[in-house]
Amino acid sequence: MSTLGSLHRRGYGKTLAGILIMAVYLFPVYWMVVTSLKPYKEIFAVPPKIFPDPATFGPYISTVINDPDVHRAIANSVIISVGAMLLTLVLGVPAAYALARLRLRFTGVVLLALLASQMLPAINLSVPLFVLFKYIGLINTYPGLILADTTFVLPFSIIILRPFFLGIPGELEDAAMVDGCSRLGAFWRVVLPLAIPGLLTVGALALVLVWGEFVFGLTLTISNNMQPITVALNRFIGQYGTQWNKLMAVSTTVALPVVLLFAGAQRYIVSGLTAGATKE
């Protein structure tokens, strides 16, 4: 009992609890990577092997490197994710700035509507969007998928960005306009550079959300050539079984950019979310 009390006083207990929780959350990721390195017969070994023995890179060679369909699906995901991220910033930045600076009577109503839209599952939006896009010729196109994904992440982006603009003193814009800037010039030269942490946060989160999106990629495409990688993963699930090692190899490859993005931009994302949550 004294040993446990000593660990608790030194903070080791919380550290140990954090490590255990992290291990539980990361174990599926570890198992995904391990499965991608196992020969097919070893996947179903009893008892299961915690480490691949022997490790093989055959699934990566046959799917990630030599499969043109996987290359095409990854390229589709890159185009759709980057396009949706850019469109989200182009639309979300002025919308959030207007809600922060303009004294509108219906600002509260707009924010409530944005929050309510976050509670709608993507599947509820996919059918109306399919009908609408069918009439205007956006089914099975990059613009259609980019627009659909933007409708999903744009409300969240506006909610995150608005506190950043509220935290920037209005006196800075007034001083810029006294020096000869217009309202747009003050926004572009003064406000926008100060809001870069928020832009990085929203851009990274939008990119990750769209990268992993599945519903719109499934419902708004009718050919394999336009499907993102999240939908293309279904090709490894057949009538007579699932190619688990190939499926996990592609899944590991798809997850790698997200891990690298958050590892490289962790400081900006965390600080951006913290600042956006407290400035009001």
pLDDT tens figures, 51-93 = 887 788 888 998 889 989 999 999 999 999 999 999 999 999 9
- Domains for the chain: give ranges and CATH numbers: 1-56 (no CATH), 66-278 (1.10.3720.10)
24: helix, coil or strand? helix
Cβ pair 272, 200 in contact under 8 A: yes
Closest-CA residue to 207 (of 269, 164, 251): 269
What are the pLDDT tens digits along the chain (280 aa)? 455 555 555 567 778 888 899 889 889 889 899 988 888 888 888 788 888 877 888 889 988 899 899 999 999 999 999 999 999 999 999 999 988 888 777 888 888 888 888 888 888 888 899 999 999 999 999 999 999 999 989 998 998 888 888 888 888 888 888 888 888 888 888 888 888 888 888 898 899 899 989 999 999 998 889 999 999 888 888 766 788 888 899 999 999 888 888 777 776 666 655 655 544 4
The tokens 């890159």 sit on which residue? Answer: 78
From the CB of residue 144, how many other CB atoms can be counted at a distance below 10 Å?
23
In angstroms, rounded to a whole number, what is the distance separating the alpha carbons of residues 231 and 77? 10
In angstroms, rounded to a whole number, what is the distance separating the alpha carbons of residues 104 and 145? 32
- Would you call 236 exposed, middle or buried from its count of C-beta atoms within 10 A (0-12, 13-18, 19+)? buried
From the CB of residue 105, how many other CB atoms can be counted at a distance below 10 Å?
6
pTM: 0.85
pLDDT tens figures, 85-127 = 999 999 999 999 988 888 777 888 888 888 888 888 888 888 8
